[in-house]
């Protein structure tokens, strides 16, 4: 079966609960199949053809998920975008994707219509409660599944664009299907699972990992609009598993109600989308008696590696390559594999790897090796057991006085200082060294170490050229919606430190 929609077997599980909404209402697989079929019928009626793009900037709801399923069913290409994007940003996505249809929140209808004047797609609305013109116009008729080839596009996801204009990663039915099947098996998901889903669904983590895996397994999801500690604590006793980002776990650790008794029934906690501090991994194990399973992926590839379900989950690593996925660590200059435990560029090849960047064939060509390996842009090491450690982005590498400094190595030592909550290390222009190693740190309230004190401790642990020229204390680090620290913003903010 080439259309991913068929793999979910919604009608075969008709009476099973697919989604439990925040108000307690249950949506069965039959309900979800009916909604998707009716939306797919409407898409066909308004002229959406296979391959047409549908841009969706909508709040999380069961109808938003049904819209994704309807796009698959119709053979259209789903283009979810962050609900926090500004008018200028959404204008770029619409202009680039050239969609047949845009679905937005009713409150944004007027501004979206003014934005799309030159592109002229159809514009429909959908809010977080499932209301809007998309829902109002549903017919009672459903739609048959459109046959799709494995390489036909299912979705376009735009990268965060921290180093330039966002690029649309083209993901096929085969890309999404292969990744979901591997994760379902590796993480042991079954129809008995109940996933606590507090992630957004405009992102690969919340949609293509969480939703796809649970639908493939036939399990259920507790659909929370967003992560709120109180709501999550209330929902945990009803769940068997939770997928989250590191921020979820640090916020729960800050609440005294997190105890082994609260989560004794849970089967699995996973973390991704941003690095999980080893300190958080250890603290969670101590407080909950569960070891978080950290994994590694990208918009362009889906999941690449994962700590194992049954054997060692090693803090500070993202695990081993998933079945069917080849991972190697190479020298950035010559492309040859580096020895084990040596830092290099991570590259990946497999059915999960995207088809390329939308309307950017030249850029696509530069991101792949001749043998088909995708250059991730992430620097890391692989040990003798095949466990990967991520040390940073290639673009985050600091070259100070002609010597390479890997931010993750410095961050690990800073984070180990008593009273430091987290840190970010990056390079800023320096007249003598080219780049100066710079650190910003978030500390606990009673933190009393001066910059000189911190540097004195770090000097015992790090070579002199790796020591920060500046250590700045801040209240919080800038992050994107998925919790990733935005080092491009830090470099911009502090680039004048040594001018």
pLDDT attached to residue 313: 95
User: Which pLDDT tens digit goes with each residue over 76-109?
Assistant: 999 999 888 877 778 889 999 999 999 999 998 9
CB 210 within 8 A of CB 187: no
Instruction: Judge whether 4-186 and 397-494 match in fold.
Output: no
Closest CA to 48 of 58, 59, 39, 60: 39
Instruction: Judge whether residue 160 has pLDDT over 70.
Output: no
Nearest 5°: phi and psi at 294? -90, 145
Whole-number mean pLDDT of the chain?
93
Which architecture does CATH list for 227-393?
Answer: 3-Layer(aba) Sandwich (3.40)
Average pLDDT over residues 291-316: 95
- Each domain of the chain, given as residue ranges in start order, spans 4-186, 227-393, 397-494
Instruction: Judge whether residue 164 has pLDDT over 70.
Output: no
463 pLDDT band, cuts 50/70/90, is confident
379 pLDDT band, cuts 50/70/90, is very high
404 pLDDT band, cuts 50/70/90, is confident
Residue length, the chain?
499
- Which three-class secondary structure string do you get for 5-66? HHHCCCHHHCCCEEEEECCCCEEEHHHHHHHHHHHHHHHHHCCCCCCCEEEEECCCCHHHHH
Average pLDDT over residues 184-213: 97
pLDDT attached to residue 162: 44
User: Which pLDDT tens digit goes with each residue over 59-79?
Assistant: 999 999 999 999 999 999 999
Average pLDDT over residues 205-221: 98
Average pLDDT over residues 452-475: 93
pLDDT attached to residue 30: 97
DSSP state of 118: G
d(CA 391, CA 473): 22
Question: What is the homologous superfamily of the domain 4-186 according to CATH?
Answer: ANL, N-terminal domain (3.40.50.12780)
Which of 169-178, 247-256, 404-413, 418-427 is the least confident region?
404-413
d(CA 228, CA 487): 26
Integer Rg of the chain from CA? 23
116 pLDDT band, cuts 50/70/90, is confident
Average pLDDT over residues 435-464: 93
Average pLDDT over residues 250-271: 96
d(CA 115, CA 81): 15
Q: Which residue has the higher pLDDT, 235 or 164?
A: 235
d(CA 214, CA 46): 31
Average pLDDT over residues 10-22: 96
371 pLDDT band, cuts 50/70/90, is very high
Question: Would you state the structure tokens that stand for residue 135, as one six-digit string?
Answer: 């829902």
pLDDT attached to residue 397: 85
H or E element at residue 492: helix 487-494
pLDDT attached to residue 373: 97
Residues in a beta bridge with 389? 381
Specify the 3-state DSSP secondary structure of 80: strand
pLDDT attached to residue 403: 79
Which of 205-209, 279-283, 286-290, 348-352 is the least confident region?
279-283
Q: Which CATH number fits domain 397-494: 3.30.300.30, 3.30.559.10, 3.40.50.10790, 3.20.20.110?
A: 3.30.300.30
Average pLDDT over residues 26-47: 97
168 pLDDT band, cuts 50/70/90, is very high
Closest CA to 244 of 270, 221, 207, 282: 270
Instruction: Judge whether residue 241 has pLDDT over 50.
Output: yes
Q: Which residues of 53-78 are buried (b: 16+ CB within 10 A; e: fewer)?
A: bbbbbbbbbbbbbbbbbbbbbbbbbb
């Amino acid at each position: 079966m080439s259309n991913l929609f068929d793999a979910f077997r919604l009608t075969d599980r008709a009476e099973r609960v697919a989604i439990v909404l925040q108000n307690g209402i249950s949506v069965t697989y039959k309900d979800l199949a009916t909604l998707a079929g009716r939306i797919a019928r409407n898409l066909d009626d308004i002229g959406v053809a296979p391959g047409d793009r549908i841009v969706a900037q909508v709040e999380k709801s069961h109808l938003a998920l049904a819209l994704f399923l309807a796009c698959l069913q119709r053979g259209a290409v789903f283009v979810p975008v962050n609900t926090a994007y500004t008018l200028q940003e959404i204008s770029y996505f619409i202009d680039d994707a050239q969609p047949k249809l845009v679905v937005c929140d009713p409150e944004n209808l007027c501004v979206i219509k003014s934005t799309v004047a030159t592109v002229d797609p159809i514009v429909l609305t959908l809010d977080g409660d499932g209301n809007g013109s998309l829902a109002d116009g549903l017919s009672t008729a459903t739609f048959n599944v459109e046959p799709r080839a494995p390489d036909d596009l299912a979705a376009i996801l735009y990268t965060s664009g921290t180093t330039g204009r966002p690029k649309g990663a083209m993901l096929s039915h085969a890309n999404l299907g292969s990744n979901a099947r591997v994760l379902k098996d590796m993480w042991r998901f079954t129809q008995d699972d109940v996933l606590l889903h507090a992630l957004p669904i405009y992102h690969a983590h919340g949609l293509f990992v969480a939703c796809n895996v649970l639908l493939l397994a036939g399990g259920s999801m507790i659909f929370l609009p967003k992560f709120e500690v109180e709501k999550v604590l209330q929902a945990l006793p009803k769940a068997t598993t939770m997928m989250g980002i590191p921020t979820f776990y640090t916020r729960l650790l800050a609440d005294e109600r997190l105890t082994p008794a609260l989560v004794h029934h849970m089967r699995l906690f996973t973390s991704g989308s941003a690095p999980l501090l080893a300190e958080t991994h250890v603290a969670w194990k101590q407080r909950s008696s569960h070891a978080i399973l950290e994994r590694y992926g990208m918009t362009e590839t889906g999941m690449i590696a994962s700590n194992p379900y049954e054997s060692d989950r090693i803090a500070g690593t993202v695990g081993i390559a998933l079945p069917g996925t080849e991972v190697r660590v190479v020298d950035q200059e010559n492309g040859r594999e580096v020895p084990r435990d040596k830092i290099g560029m991570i590259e990946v090849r497999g059915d999960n790897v995207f088809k390329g960047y939308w309307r950017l064939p030249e850029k696509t060509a530069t991101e792949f090796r001749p043998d088909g390996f995708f250059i991730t842009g992430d620097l890391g090491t692989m040990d003798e057991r095949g466990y990967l450690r991520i040390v940073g982005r290639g673009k985050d590498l600091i070259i100070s006085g002609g010597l390479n400094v890997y931010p993750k190595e410095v961050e690990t030592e800073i984070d180990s200082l008593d009273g430091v909550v987290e840190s970010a290390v990056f390079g800023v222009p320096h007249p003598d060294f080219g780049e100066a190693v710079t650190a910003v740190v978030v500390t606990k309230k009673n933190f009393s170490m001066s910059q000189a004190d911190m540097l004195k401790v770090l000097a015992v642990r790090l070579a002199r050229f790796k020591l920060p020229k500046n250590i700045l204390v801040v209240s919080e680090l800038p992050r994107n919606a998925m919790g990733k620290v935005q080092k491009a913003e830090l470099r911009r903010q502090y680039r004048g430190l040594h001018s």
